[in-house]
Amino acid sequence: MKFQEITMHKVSMRMKNPFTTSFGTEQDRSFVIIEAIDELGNIGWGECVTSDSPLYIEEFTDGSWVMLEQFLVPLVLKHEWEHPDELADLFSPFKRNNLAKAVIDAAAWDIYAKRQGISLADALGGTKKEIEVGVSLGIEDDMEKLLTNIKEKVDEGYKRIKVKIKPGKDVEVVKEIREHYPAIPLMVDANSAYTLDDIDLLKQLDPYNLMMIEQPLTAGDLIDHAELQKHLETPICLDESIHSYDDARKAIQLGSGKIINMKVGRVGGLSIMKKIHDLCEEADIPMWCGGMLESGIGRAHNIAVTSLANFTLPGDTASSSRYWHEDIIEPEVLVHNGILQVPSEPGIGYNVSHEKLAKYTIYKKTFNLN
């Protein structure tokens, strides 16, 4: 098959609340949505999970727009393909730019599933019909505010709570949370804010029975994480260190962590996600699906991903309403008591509202086959 037409939408949406991590605060998000059409009129959707600034990862929204506009979209329009796995090979001469590559791969997988009349989860080999969901909470200046946020999410039934930490907002914060909630499934995410000089500090988290500490050290690092893991009882989970199958293979070999947070954008697409999934399953490394504050389109893909068997831990696919006043898919994602049903309709299984998409689109560009 061939894509007949691809439209890039630059979308801007304001989140209900600011979200603060060790690298900064975000509330207004702009990102690229890809709408791809095949010769039968099927539409495939993808969301490029960048932020406006390159703070989490080196890619950012306007940079990925250019990568897509100048390189990836023109290339894929010329290419005939039978299976989305072929796109990773097609894009491999271009170094990195995984978030941009992944959005075309996402649209290709959606169309591939729709052409067969099966759900994206089925197309990917997912086995779970329902998935467990956790929630990621940002850093708050005020401890009472964080405790209120946690209470709300615990009451809603989320299956685990993740709290962002940074130097100065770490051990004391966890201690206080545990005083109120001695037994909830709890984890922390440092987004690369520490170094090996902080071993003694990070060891102070060990008594609090955290499920894991996510990405304590530099993005991309595997060596120092392996050293740190030797000193910690708390399992290390890698996020910003895993950009490829080889990164995952090396992390497992070195013992850089015991858990992997899979973000499909970060590794360059669903085809590579599946390979890493199978590798981790074989190596007994549990996984969960991370989030990038997506709209419903990216979230729908993450739900399908989480249906794969080795996604054994609750992921960050919270309800649409946790982020947005209004989402661009119908129905919106609605988590009941920490559980989501994996859609069985063809493709991503949610309808994209063209009307709502248009409302949040700042500009768009359409490419045709000829």
Of 116-124, 264-272, 286-294, 339-347: span binding ligand OSB (CB under 6 A):
286-294
CB 172 within 8 A of CB 205: no
Cis peptide before 346 (omega within 30 of 0): no
Of 37-45, 272-280, 284-292, 339-347: span binding ligand OSB (CB under 6 A):
284-292
Distance CA 111, CA 116 (A): 9
Task: By CB under 5 A, name the one of 105, 239, 294, 327 that touches Mg ion.
Answer: 239
Verify binding: residue 56, ligand OSB, rule CB under 6 A: yes
CA distance readout (Å), 263 to 17, 93, 182, 197, 293: 22, 22, 29, 28, 12
Which entry of ligand OSB, Mg ion, none binds 318, CB below 5 to 8 A by partner kind?
ligand OSB
When CB distances to ligand OSB are compared, the closest residue is 291
**Least distance (Å) between residue 189 CB and Mg ion:** 4
Verify binding: residue 35, Mg ion, rule CB under 5 A: no
Of 81-89, 146-154, 166-174, 287-295: span binding ligand OSB (CB under 6 A):
287-295
Catalytic annotation on 263?
A: yes
**Least distance (Å) between residue 361 CB and ligand OSB:** 21
**Least distance (Å) between residue 358 CB and ligand OSB:** 24
Catalytic annotation on 365?
A: no
Task: By CB under 6 A, name the one of 136, 306, 319, 320 that touches ligand OSB.
Answer: 136
Catalytic residue among 10, 159, 164, 258: 164
Verify binding: residue 268, ligand OSB, rule CB under 6 A: no
Verify binding: residue 189, ligand OSB, rule CB under 6 A: yes
User: Judged by CB, which is closer to ligand OSB: 187, or 205?
Assistant: 187
Q: In 3-state terms, the chain is what percent helix, strand and coil (to 5)? A: 40, 25, 40
Radius of gyration of the chain (CA): 20
Task: By CB under 6 A, name the one of 61, 191, 234, 310 that touches ligand OSB.
Answer: 191
Task: By CB under 5 A, name the one of 140, 189, 247, 327 that touches Mg ion.
Answer: 189
Is 172 in a helix, a strand, or coil?
helix
CB 35 within 8 A of CB 52: no
**Least distance (Å) between residue 215 CB and ligand OSB:** 7
User: What is the residue type of 197?
Assistant: D
**Burial call 322-355: b when 16+ CB within 10 Å, e when fewer:** bbbeebbbeebbebeebebebbeebbbbbebbee
CB 146 within 8 A of CB 173: yes
Q: Which residues make Cβ contacts (< 8 Å) with residue 58, sequence separation at least 6? A: 96
Q: Summarize as ranges the residues that interact with Mg ion (CB under 5 A).
A: 189, 214, 239
Q: Summarize as ranges the residues that interact with ligand OSB (CB under 6 A).
A: 56, 136, 189, 191, 239, 290-293, 316, 318
